[in-house]
Amino acid sequence: MQFRLSGGSSGARAGDLFLPESSLGRNGPRVPCGSASPVIESYERMNERTRPPDGAAHERSRTTRTALLDAAERIFADRGYAGASLRAITEAAGANLGAVNYHFGSKEELLWEVISRRVSPINRERLRLLEDCRRAANGGPPAIEDVLRAFVAPVFSLHAGAGVDPFVRLAGRMYSEPLPQLPKLHARLFREVTGRFLDALSEALPGLSRKELWWQLQLVVGTFLHPLLAGPRLVDFTERMCTLDDMDAVADRMVRFAAGGLRAARVRGAAGDAARKDGARKR
């Protein structure tokens, strides 16, 4: 299609519009800017029909991104990070192969986003509850049970929600699959929140070393991961006596168990210190 300035062979003047040659006669009428034209009106009506509504493109992009995250979560959980191909993820999401690079930049960043969208809300709630613990302590050391509940309860709330089972399985894979990216991912997700809880436990349990507190917190993590990973199979493992029907009750049991272990660690630590001091005096 050729274009020329309207006004025929007499030449163009400032303010004339470019119009398709086919829309004019050989020396078609000149149409100044702002004048009505059947052709222009036709184009405007066509544009109104085909132009996406405001925000439609953004909504489609957001929908594709969510579909990629959901598909990646399932496939990472089923096949592991190494066994999950970007082609399988995009096909499951109904997206093209370039969508991962467009939305996330790389497979590693996709894994980060899959984990972060589940864990970051948990960590925010943990920190909020921990601040509540400190306010309740009114300047004193926080109660051990309150600190532990702030750490544990948001995890069990996640499990009680919809659509998280693939993520629980993925969490198990992250601990069992040799994944070079895991230390970096773990630091990005947990460094701040872990440090805050270790500080609170140190106040609640004076005398325990930082190393012992690290051990105790890791044992707490391992303890609450077991029933989550077992899921419905926990019923079969326990002669149908233990279920996950009431996650608040499970969290309470976890808190009591962990608090007993932490107090026992402090007692053992104090006894060990006393024995070492007594041995030093005898020497």
Closest CA to 85 of 97, 94, 70, 95: 97
CA dihedral over 13, 17, 23, 29, signed as positive or negative:
negative
Confidence at residue 72, expressed as pLDDT on a 0 to 100 scale = 96
Tell me which of 1.10.10.60, 3.40.50.720, 3.30.565.10, 3.40.50.1000 is the CATH number of domain 54-105. 1.10.10.60
Domain(s) of CATH 1.10.10.60: residues in the chain: 54-105
Confidence at residue 42, expressed as pLDDT on a 0 to 100 scale = 46
Distance (Å) of CA 281 to CA 207, 269, 270, 272, 277: 21, 19, 17, 14, 6
pLDDT in tens, 192-251: 999 999 999 999 999 899 999 999 999 999 888 888 888 888 889 999 999 888 888 999
Distance (Å) of CA 210 to CA 34, 108, 118, 218: 76, 32, 28, 12
Q: Please, are residues 250 and 156 in contact by the beta-carbon 8 Å criterion?
A: yes
pLDDT in tens, 175-189: 788 788 888 888 999
Question: Three-class SS string for the chain?
Answer: CCEEECCHHHCCCCCECEEEHHHCCCCCCCCECCCCCHHHHHHHHHHHHHCCCCCHHHHHHHHHHHHHHHHHHHHHHHHHHHHCCHHHHHHHHCCCCCHHHHHCCCHHHHHHHHHHHHHHHHHHHHHHHHHHHHHHHCCCCCCHHHHHHHHHHHHHHHHHCCCCHHHHHHHHHHHHCCCCCHHHHHHHHHHHHHHHHHHHHHHHCCCCCHHHHHHHHHHHHHHHHHHHHHCCHHHHHCCCCCCCCCHHHHHHHHHHHHHHHHHHHHHHHHHHHHHHHHHHHHC
Provide the pLDDT confidence category of residue 6 given band limits of 50, 70 and 90: very low
Angle between helices 210-230 and 247-282 (to 10 degrees): 150
Residue 276 predicted with pLDDT over 60: no
pLDDT in tens, 25-42: 444 444 444 444 454 444
Return the number of other C-beta atoms located less than 10 Å from residue 203's C-beta: 14
pLDDT in tens, 60-119: 889 999 999 999 999 999 999 999 999 999 999 999 989 999 999 999 999 999 999 999
Superfamily of domain 108-282 in the CATH hierarchy: Tetracycline Repressor, domain 2 (1.10.357.10)
pLDDT in tens, 108-162: 999 999 999 999 999 999 999 999 999 999 999 999 999 999 999 998 876 655 4
Residue 7 predicted with pLDDT over 80: no
Distance (Å) of CA 171 to CA 1, 32, 241: 59, 67, 25
Domain(s) of CATH 1.10.357.10: residues in the chain: 108-282
Confidence at residue 176, expressed as pLDDT on a 0 to 100 scale = 81
Query: Looking at the whole model, is its pTM more than 0.75?
Result: no
How many Å apart are CA 275 and CA 192, to the nearest integer? 36
Provide the pLDDT confidence category of residue 8 given band limits of 50, 70 and 90: very low
How large is the average pLDDT for residues 163-183?
80
> Which residue would you say has higher pLDDT here, 175 or 53?
175
Question: What number of residues does the chain have?
Answer: 283
